[in-house]
Amino acid sequence: MIRFNNAGLILPADDPTQQGRTVLEPCTLELAERRIAVIGANGSGKSTLLRMLNGLVSPSTGSVAVHGFDTVRQAKSVRQRVGFLFTDPLSQLVMPIVSEDVELSLKASHKDRGARAAAALHALAALGLEHLAQRSIYDLSGGERQLVALCSVLAAGQDILVADEPTTLLDLANNELLQATLGSLDQQVIYATHDLDFAAAADRALVVAGGKIAFDGPAHEAVAAYRWLVRHGSLAS
């Protein structure tokens, strides 16, 4: 269970006489469904909400807890449970060779180098990526890079995956492949997306507009609510 308890982010103003900028208004949520989508316009606050889930962003009001662990005071315990997949895989692929990057994620759990290499190959094979093991990450397609980044995240063994617009840079074939891969995972997956079909496939969706949770409910209803907000010009941030 993930809990937002009146959690929000207000950035202080440069001028102390002025009001700070609200990035995400305080909200109280319980996130327990297996697949949760977050939709909204660019700059709406949805990425801030996602980054609060593993402590990449600390709330300025309230708190966020994952399985009872506070994301600020117990950040290490939270990150052992929450993996994060960024929009651009090159922002998180650290090593030049695919297998080496996956091995890096396994360093804490596999001290022996040989066992770590074997575990990395097993993790790649689980996603059908073993043929990429010795390839340079710079020689991969965008979809292959995103799948390798996903493999590296999953190899660390967290039971929650947060993905911030993971399909944005992908062509149709790789988009569908990544969606299918995410859909097959045992982990809870919480993802932001501009792909409304992808959002509608979730169990639940949050619509973020102007730093507020504008709708929270079944995914198909959330998509309909978001379309209404767009068509009626109600997404000002």
Q: What percent of the chain has pLDDT over 70?
A: 96
Comparing 232 with 162, the larger pLDDT belongs to 162
pLDDT class of 202 with cuts at 50, 70, 90: very high
On average, the pLDDT of the chain sits at: 92
CA distance 151 to 84: 11
Residue 14 scores a pLDDT above 80: no
Q: What is the DSSP string of 104-159?
A: HHTTTT--SHHHHHHHHHHHHHHTT-GGGTTSBGGGS-HHHHHHHHHHHHHHTT-S
Q: What is the DSSP string of the chain?
A: -EEEEEEEEEEPPSSTTSPPEEEEEEEEEEE-SSEEEEE--TTSSHHHHHHHTTTSS--SEEEEEETTEETTTTHHHHHTTEEEE-SSGGGT--SSBHHHHHHHHTTTT--SHHHHHHHHHHHHHHTT-GGGTTSBGGGS-HHHHHHHHHHHHHHTT-SEEEEESTTTT--HHHHHHHHHHHHH-SSEEEEE-S-HHHHHTSSEEEEEETTEEEEEE-HHHHHHHHHHHHHTT----
Residue 237 scores a pLDDT above 50: no
pLDDT class of 235 with cuts at 50, 70, 90: low
98-118: average pLDDT: 92
Residue 1 scores a pLDDT above 90: no
Residue 236 scores a pLDDT above 60: no
Q: Note the pLDDT tens digit of each residue in 36-52.
A: 999 999 999 999 999 99
CA distance 151 to 113: 18
Question: If we measure between CA atoms, which residue out of 187, 145, 202 comes closest to residue 168?
Answer: 145
First and final C-alpha spacing in the chain: 29
115-144: average pLDDT: 94
CB neighbours of 158 closer than 8 A, spacing ≥ 6? 79, 80, 81, 82, 83, 187
What's the pTM?
0.91
